[in-house]
């Protein structure tokens, strides 16, 4: 019997398709595929296995990297925020992880450590994001000292992160790129700057390594776009089922707080999906779902486990499949409606949702 629980269906063929699209856009760059936050909610290990063509994988935290290693992933893995405490360095060396060094204190701790083997270092420069990264004026000194350290393997890789690459009309990205080139001029190390927005909008920033996250999952980083416009295929379909159909009369108030009042006699489908599954509460009276391929509005508030949908006279029955987002209902559109970004919606899916992996060609 088909489960009526909320489902996230992950299409690994779409993931591979999007990876190929990255290679097409950045043909001369290696790809560091970003898998932090459980691969943007898609399931880190399955995504890592499917992306066997990636040159390296990027995660935010040590436990994410260790989970990949425990799952048998042998590929280079980069800790995008480096280590948080020098105690972690032994494990980082033992698990053959690579480090971003983004702060003088981190560099000093690495230089002072006693390691069993040298680690690969990506030196991150702050060129305008003002979050992580060494100051431009620290570059020459830290670069030289790290390069000479027996704790550091081979030539340093040099990186920076863009604040606004998803907004091609702003000058910020060009300014960051110019500053990066100026600081690193004459340096042999491989360069990496481009997140998804820059892979799509700033070919001059691709360098030796691109670092796409969101676009691998088929989703656009740009506020007004959807993945399809960039030649991407959404990887996740979030779906559930109708668990009840009921009639309401004109004037009936629906759900908590009675925030929606039926204007005329109608029919409602109750769907097993709520904020307890990670579906955004802001979608109440504010978004659509697909039932049997047709668009219907969510009416009333989103509850923890359920939403109510106005189905009018459509022939909807208990057990019918409901799509909350996917190829025909972009998550980007829902993000706009509820005033957030698709990154957040994807990451917020909870463990109540049942994941399945398919290869839809
Ligand atoms: C998350 C992250 C990325 C990927 O960003 P997207 O916008 O998802 O492509 C790239 N680089 C770093 C350092 C990151 O933290």
CA-based nearest residue to 224, from 343, 349, 347, 341: 341
- For residue 59, the CA-to-ligand 1 centroid distance in Å is 9
Q: Give just the sign of the alpha carbon dihedral 171, 173, 178, 182.
A: positive
90-149: pLDDT as tens digits: 999 999 999 999 999 999 999 999 999 999 999 999 999 999 999 999 999 999 999 999
What gap in Å lies between CA 171 and CA 166, rounded to an integer? 12
Q: What is residue 318's predicted lDDT score, i.e. its pLDDT? A: 97
**0.85 surpassed by pTM:** yes
Pocket test for ligand 1, best of 15, 34, 122, 198 (most atoms within 8 A of CB): 34
- The pLDDT score that the predictor gives to residue 282 is 98
Exposed/middle/buried for residue 5 (C-beta within 10 Å: 0-12, 13-18, 19+): middle
DSSP per position, 14-73: HHHHHHHHHHHHSTTSEEEEE-HHHHHHT-HHHHHHHTTT-SEEEESSHHHHHHHHHTT-
d(CA 349, CA 344): 9
Q: Which tokens belong to 11? A: 């299409």
Residues with CB under 6 A from ligand 1: 34, 36, 80, 161, 195-197, 211-214, 221
Give catalytic status of residue 36 as yes or no.
yes
pLDDT (tens digit per residue) in 25-45 = 999 999 999 999 999 999 999
What pLDDT sits at residue 2?
Answer: 57
Residue 124 annotated in active site: no
In the structure, what pLDDT confidence band is assigned to residue 359 with cuts at 50, 70 and 90? very high
Count of Cβ atoms closer than 10 Å to residue 265 Cβ: 11
Query: pLDDT-derived band of residue 361, with 50, 70 and 90 as boundaries?
Result: low
């Amino acid at each position: 019997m088909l489960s009526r629980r909320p489902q996230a269906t992950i299409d690994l063929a779409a993931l591979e398709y999007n990876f190929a699209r990255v290679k097409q856009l950045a043909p001369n760059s290696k790809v560091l595929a970003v898998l932090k936050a459980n691969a943007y909610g898609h399931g880190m290990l399955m995504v890592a296995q499917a992306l066997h063509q990636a040159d390296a994988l990027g995660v935010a935290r040590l436990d994410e990297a260790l989970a990949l290693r425990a799952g048998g992933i042998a590929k280079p893995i980069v800790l995008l925020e480096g280590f948080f405490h020098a105690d972690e360095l032994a494990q980082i060396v033992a698990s053959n992880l690579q480090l971003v060094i983004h702060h003088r204190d981190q560099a000093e701790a690495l230089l002072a450590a006693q390691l069993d083997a040298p680690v690969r270092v990506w030196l991150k420069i702050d060129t305008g994001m003002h979050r992580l990264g060494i100051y431009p004026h620290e570059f020459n000194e830290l670069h030289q000292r790290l390069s000479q350290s027996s704790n550091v393997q081979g030539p340093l890789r040099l990186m920076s992160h863009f604040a606004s690459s998803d907004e091609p009309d702003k000058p910020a990205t060009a300014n960051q790129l110019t500053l990066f080139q100026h600081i690193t001029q004459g340096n042999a190390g491989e360069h990496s700057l481009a997140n998804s927005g820059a892979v799509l909008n700033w070919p001059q920033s691709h360098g030796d390594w691109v670092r796409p996250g969101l676009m691998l999952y088929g989703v656009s980083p740009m506020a007004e776009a959807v993945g399809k416009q960039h030649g991407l295929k959404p990887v996740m379909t979030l779906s559930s089922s109708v668990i009840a159909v009921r009639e309401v009369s004109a004037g009936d108030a629906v759900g908590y707080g009675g925030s929606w009042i039926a204007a005329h006699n109608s029919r409602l489908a109750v769907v097993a999906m709520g904020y307890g599954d990670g579906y955004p509460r802001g979608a109440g009276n504010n978004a659509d779902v697909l039932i049997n391929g047709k668009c219907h509005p969510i009416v009333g508030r989103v509850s923890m486990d359920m939403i109510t949908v106005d189905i009018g006279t459509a022939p909807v029955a208990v057990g019918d499949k409901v799509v909350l987002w996917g190829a025909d209902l972009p998550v980007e559109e829902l993000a706009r409606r509820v005033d957030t970004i698709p990154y957040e919606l994807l990451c917020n899916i909870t463990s109540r949702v049942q994941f399945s992996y398919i290869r839809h060609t």
